[in-house]
Amino acid sequence: GMEIHNPKVTLANQPSWEKAHLDRVQLMYERDKNFTSIVTWSLGNEAGFGVNFQATYDWLKAQDKSRPVQYEMAQNTNYSDIQAPMYHSIERIVEYAEKHTDKPLILCEYAHAMGNSVGNLQDYWDAIEKHKELQGGFIWDWVDQGLLEQSEDGEEYFAYGGDYPHAPVKSDSNFCINGLVQADRTINPHIWEVKKVYQYIEIKAVDLVKGKYEVQNKYDFTNLDQFEFSWELKDEDGLIAKGDLPVLDVSPHESQEFQISNLKLQNAKKELLLTISAKTKEATVLVPAGHEVAWDQFVIPAISPVVDTTLSSLKSLELVDNESNLVVGNSNFEITFSKTTGQMESWKMDDKEMLISGLTPDFWRAPVDNDLGNGMPARNGIWHFAGKNQKNQKLEVVMSEPYEVVIQAEFVIPDANDSKYLTVYTIRADGSVHVKNQFVPVGDLPDLPRFGMAMVLQPEFDQMTWFGKGPHETYWDKNTGAKVDQYSGSVWEQYHPYVRPQEFGNKSSVRWASLTNADGLGLKVVGDSLLNVRAMNLELVDIDHTPRPSPNRHTIDIKNKPLVTWNIDHLQMGVGGDTSWGRRVHDEYTIPAKIYSYGFTLIPVGLDR
């Protein structure tokens, strides 16, 4: 409760408090001095700096010269052996490394793990591993400080500070919900990012085609002969080949080349994925045998095969242009566009309606905790309803052939200075629809939280399969810890119960994804380029706290709804992770308002064509 930065106020400079400071440090030393697990002494945390901390430092160094002493608020003095800042940016720690060699920098707190967070962790470590002065950091925090409560209906949930206005101390809403794991140790998805970025084994490709690789041992004491190394080669259809590597005898801080022969990677007709994995040989007290401690994945691009575009064997298309609608289809499917809204409003396959609502431009995401902390909802708020508020300017058929119909929809976005949005639908006789989008901004506009499209399917289409990163959620600045593979599960299984509901469930680097019903009928999306895809049994309003005032929200407020919202995006901004109280998403993971275009193809699945 005292000002910690003002030297005139802080207890650290009040002589009457010297004995209290010394007493605490002396008790700590006597309690822990014989534990070999103690490698560094700390003078305290966030308690100002002054003569009392100088006294505690001098006392500790007189007792024990074998261990370093650190204190964050003494980092620019001689009273800390470690430069130990909190939440310094990547640029700032690199600047330190380039100017100082007298003491190492270890971030005493960084990568604030509040809500959907821990973005750009890989970027931190790219910098840390380039400079010997940078020696790592401590993520805040390991576990949520949530309190188990029950609703009036008996549903359990974790509450947070803002739920206790009657408490005798202030709270900062859900600010203590900032763990890699939740209060009951259920893991949050960002823990997978931490595991991958922190792994002590790195494998690099020397020559992909010839199967030559280099393995680097980043351990301080462990030889890599303690692990079993194996490899798997897959494509979108599954496993092609696998094998074990010979024992890799690599000492700490050393590297070694090895080769995987006979993979025949040349002239692949499909994209290939080679994953090399290191697993424990023997069980230890904490870790079982066969536990994966490290992996790296390599993408071998496909040599594009020749695609048969012949449609003449299919049933030709019929186009009906009436006063209110455009209807395209044949006996297998029927797609209806509204001339009023310019949108697809119905898609029937074998007389079964797929849609609740058709594709709509989507520029918004439910704010994550970091967004709320840096003011994103106010700064970027014009995009909140921009897609829904678009105005149809023109809907026209620009080409009509027996086996292909092209429909073009032109919109303006009133919320964004009448920016232009163009969607071109190419409908083919096989039931597939290629969708091409272009956004042209007008005037000075803020960054876009996302650039994509959303549609809502009937609730029966709740089985999701995708070929991309997974199985957990990934984002633009948080996808190092996920392998590209084919994954599947129910739509509801993609939901992650953040203690305070927020954006969740995005899948990045998606080549294709499908939503089907129990009979295998549904839609598959294939991107012209890599996509971001998310499916949920929710509406945006369920996880979005803006712009209206809202009481505290919790996991029990999220209920499975009879619908499937499907986001098919080109880009979504990163989630951030430097801090949750002001630092924005890094520039390279933002979406400036400029011209964008992207495309994808929606393909019927399970339709007898």
- What pLDDT, in 10s, does the model give residues 478-509? 999 999 999 999 999 999 999 999 999 999 99
pLDDT for 306 equals: 56
Domain CATH number, residue 251: 2.60.40.10
**Residue 278 placed within a domain:** yes
pLDDT for 168 equals: 79
**Residue 485 placed within a domain:** no
How large is the average pLDDT for residues 320-327? 94
pLDDT for 478 equals: 98
pLDDT for 350 equals: 87
Q: What angle do CA 252, 254, 259 make, to 5 degrees?
A: 120
pLDDT at 527 > cutoff 70: yes
Among 397-401, 465-469, 591-595, which stretch is predicted with the lowest mean pLDDT?
397-401
pLDDT for 548 equals: 60
Q: 107 and 122, same structural domain?
A: yes
**Residue 80 placed within a domain:** yes
Domain CATH number, residue 105: 3.20.20.80
pLDDT at 477 > cutoff 60: yes
Q: 203 and 172, same structural domain?
A: no
Q: What is the pLDDT of residues 267-312, one digit of tens each?
A: 778 899 999 999 999 999 999 999 999 999 999 988 766 566 677 7
Average predicted confidence (pLDDT) for the chain: 94
Q: What is the pLDDT of residues 217-233, one digit of tens each?
A: 999 999 999 999 999 99
CA dist., res. 2 & res. 11, Å (int): 8
Structural domain boundaries, residue 70: 11-193
Confidence of residue 1 (pLDDT cuts 50, 70, 90): low
Q: 134 and 51, same structural domain?
A: yes
**Residue 154 placed within a domain:** yes
Cα atoms found within 13 Å of the Cα of residue 543, Cβ hemisphere only: 28
pLDDT at 214 > cutoff 70: yes
pTM of the complete model: 0.95
Q: 274 and 176, same structural domain?
A: no
Confidence of residue 265 (pLDDT cuts 50, 70, 90): confident
Give the H or E element holding residue 128: helix 121-128
Q: Domain end: 160, 193, 226, which one?
A: 193
pLDDT for 525 equals: 98
Q: 132 and 65, same structural domain?
A: yes
CA dist., res. 512 & res. 568, Å (int): 10
Q: What is the pLDDT of residues 18-59, one digit of tens each?
A: 999 999 999 999 999 999 999 999 999 999 999 999 999 999
Q: 184 and 105, same structural domain?
A: yes
**Residue 317 placed within a domain:** no
How large is the average pLDDT for residues 379-393? 96
Q: 168 and 21, same structural domain?
A: yes
Confidence of residue 81 (pLDDT cuts 50, 70, 90): very high
**Residue 79 placed within a domain:** yes
Q: Active-site residues: which are they?
A: 46, 109
Identify whether the C-beta of residue 506 lies closer than 8 Å to the C-beta of residue 189: no
**Residue 176 placed within a domain:** yes
Q: 232 and 103, same structural domain?
A: no
pLDDT for 496 equals: 98
Q: 267 and 188, same structural domain?
A: no
Give 354-384 as a DSSP string: -EEEEEEEE---PPPHHHHHTTHHHHSGGGT
pLDDT for 101 equals: 84
Q: Domain end: 277, 300, 323, which one?
A: 300
How large is the average pLDDT for residues 525-534? 98
In the chain, % of residues over pLDDT 70: 97
Total domains present in the chain: 2
**Residue 147 placed within a domain:** yes
pLDDT at 345 > cutoff 90: yes
pLDDT for 589 equals: 98
pLDDT for 393 equals: 94
pLDDT at 360 > cutoff 60: yes
Q: 176 and 65, same structural domain?
A: yes
CA dist., res. 21 & res. 115, Å (int): 35
DSSP β-bridge partners for residue 201: 217
Q: Domain end: 279, 300, 321, which one?
A: 300
Q: 210 and 85, same structural domain?
A: no
pLDDT at 422 > cutoff 90: yes
Q: 65 and 93, same structural domain?
A: yes
First to last CA, the chain: 72
Among 393, 382, 425, 385, smallest CA distance to 593 is for 382
pLDDT for 608 equals: 66
